[in-house]
Amino acid sequence: MTDVSSAPLAASDATATTGAVQDMSGASAASAPAAPANGKTPWETLPVTVKVNGISHGPMDVPAGLMMIDFLHETLGLTGSRLGCGQGICHACVVIVDHADGSSETVRTCITGANYFDGKTVRTVEGHAVRDTDEKLTLAPIQQAFLDHFSFQCGYCTPGFVNAATVLIEGLKRNPVARADLEAAITAGLNDQICRCTGYVRYYEAVRDVILRTPGCIKDAK
Ligand code: FES
Ligand code: FES
């Protein structure tokens, strides 16, 4: 088992759609308290082994109360997931959990402990864009559509919208809807995502755009 305090901390440098942000403080993360002489931590720990964006992490022990968003930020150095309300309301912090049957769902990382993800396969906002051997970054279609439609302003909510829209689109590929039911499907898929800046309209337009040009999402597409 690896103690969480020994896991690497990394800074990342991306945008709202790729999910990376710079550490504005410039300060390094605080070091964990020294382990007692008996080698045991004075707090309860729980095991975590998790695959994130195709990379396996663990097994390691984490504090029982450690929320997944802090595990992503501080332990894995994946700072793209946003802590908004911290109370399970705004869904800015959601990541994607992929299931063995091919389905997926979003999970709020501000109110879900890291241990919940033990044994799970997760995608964060950093996992959508692809970087080729020349370091050229190609955004996922939904990320590009959010840019093209000027869907966001501050971008704080965008990682959550990227993940929720991805789950929606992938779900429609497995279970297409009739064109007449598309607006209701988009509303259902994005309804939990809160944005404090925009009127949502451009987010919804971007998602509709991607769905309509993604083969297999609409039953009666001509
Ligand atoms: S930050 Fe997690 S739901 Fe708001
Ligand atoms: S763009 Fe600012 S919260 Fe959505």
Q: Report, at the CATH architecture level, how domain 130-213 is classified.
A: Orthogonal Bundle (1.10)
pLDDT band at 164 (very low <50, low <70, confident <90, very high): very high
Domain spans of the chain, in order of start: 29-127, 130-213
Mean pLDDT confidence for 29-36: 54
Residue 55 confidence (pLDDT) above 70:
yes
pLDDT band, very low/low/confident/very high, at 172 (cuts 50, 70, 90): very high
State the Cα–Cα distance between residues 80 and 123, nearest whole angstrom: 11
Measured CA to CA, the distance from residue 160 to residue 91 in angstroms comes to 6
- Mutating to test ligand 1, I would choose from 70, 90, 124, 156 the residue with most ligand atoms within 8 A of its C-beta, which is 90
Q: How much is the pLDDT for 104?
A: 98
Contacts of 16 (CB under 8 A, 6+ apart): 152, 154, 155, 156, 158, 159
CATH number 3.10.20.30 is the correct assignment for the domain at 29-127: yes
Per-residue pLDDT at 2 exceeds 50: no
Predicted TM-score (pTM) of this structure? 0.85
**pLDDT the model gives residue 42:** 76
* Mean of pLDDT values over 199-203: 94
Ligand 1, residues at Cβ distance < 6 Å: 83-86, 88-93, 108, 110
